Structure 1
């Protein structure tokens, strides 16, 4: 199996007051030319946000921004008029398009743990858009759940020929990965899985082109990015 293993300890670690974050790819003050993204996938930030803190109002444009809340609740407000709460088991997709201002604040008394994921769009300067769903893979383990995809039948529609799926895999169970595009990038949120000859632990990710079986050595959650070759 021809694959590249991106180890958790190779991620950038930035701790600044209320924010404790790990960057899979170069972001903000952490830069490593070796890690600039995979295909159209540009950012995976593993953020822990202290109580009563967060990201104040700031702008984005021409980026598909996917938020996955793992613990706690984050409060979102944007220039499109959306004011929403995203809790554990919920997902938000903000298509920034021509430009949007937004904030993400932890208004609660406990830390928030979430992933922020950025994907380059294949359409520039489109109208900004907001989508949100509840989909907790713990409720239906041992199967892939589609989160975003390029067609309108997906739970949330992304402006790119890419799919994002998630699964919770119980110990001893297995799932198959076979790209509909050209590249697979499997990021393990927690637990440990075996993909071919590779042991992939929490915070690790594996990039490969061919299909493969994933077997969990302990209960694990993963995100699978099905990406175009680039």
Structure 2
């Protein structure tokens, strides 16, 4: 299987007081021309945010912004009138469209661990929208959960010809990745898996364009991006 392995240690690491983050792709003060995204996937930031800290109100436009909370909770507020907490096991999708202002604050004492993901939309200047769902793959392991896509089967609708799936895979179990000549990016959140001849560890990702089997050598959690 032809594939490219993006190692965790090649990610950018920025620690600035209350924020400890690793960037899979160039973002903010960290820039590497080798890592500018894959297909429509532009950002995966692995953020640890200290208690009673966070991102104050700031603007975005023309970007599909997903938040996956892994532990703790983050409080969201935006110019569309949405306000509330996103807890561990929940996902948020903010389609910024023509423009939205928002804040993401950890108003609790405990730190929060989350992934912030940006996907470039295939529609420009659309009306901003907000979606939030609960889907903790720990509750139903060893299967794919279609978090975002363009069909009715997806829990949230994304403005791009892409599908985003999440899974927890127990040690010794396997999952198929069935593709149709598309770009696939599997990001491993925790654990260790084998995909073809490649060993993928926590923080790593594998880019490939062929069908594959993911075999877990230890309890693992991952996100699969099926991209145009």
TM-score (normalised: structure 1): 0.98
Which residue of structure 2 lines up, in the alignment, with residue 48 of structure 1?
48
Which residue of structure 1 lines up, in the alignment, with residue 18 of structure 2?
18
CA contact (8 A) 1:162 1:181 kept: no
Secondary structure of 1:138's counterpart equals helix
Which residue of structure 2 lines up, in the alignment, with residue 225 of structure 1?
225
Of residues 187-196 and 143-152 in structure 1, the stretch that sits farther from structure 2 once superposed is 143-152
Q: Within 5 Å, which residues of 2 pair with 1:1-230?
A: 1-180=1-180, 182-228=182-228
CA distance in 2, matches of 1:210, 1:151: 22
CA contact (8 A) 1:180 1:226 kept: no
Distance 1:120 1:172, change over 3 A: same
Per-residue CA distance 1:99-135 (angstroms, 9 max, x = gap): 0000000001110000000000000000000000000
Secondary structure of 2:218's counterpart equals coil
Structure 1 runs of 4+ with >2 Å offset: none
CA distance in 1, matches of 2:206, 2:68: 19
Unaligned ranges ≥5, structure 1? none
CA distance in 2, matches of 1:206, 1:166: 15
Secondary structure of 2:200's counterpart equals strand
Quote how far apart the aligned CAs of 1:178 are: 1.5
CA distance in 2, matches of 1:28, 1:151: 33
Secondary structure of 1:218's counterpart equals strand
Distance 1:181 1:99, change over 3 A: farther
Per-residue CA distance 1:2-37 (angstroms, 9 max, x = gap): 000000000000000000000000000000000000
Secondary structure of 1:110's counterpart equals coil
Of residues 151-160 and 16-25 in structure 1, the stretch that sits farther from structure 2 once superposed is 151-160
Per-residue CA distance 1:135-155 (angstroms, 9 max, x = gap): 000000000000000134421
CA distance in 1, matches of 2:198, 2:214: 10
Secondary structure of 1:121's counterpart equals coil
CA contact (8 A) 2:70 2:88 kept: yes
CA distance in 2, matches of 1:166, 1:180: 19
Quote how far apart the aligned CAs of 1:183 are: 1.0
CA RMSD, 1 decimal = 0.7
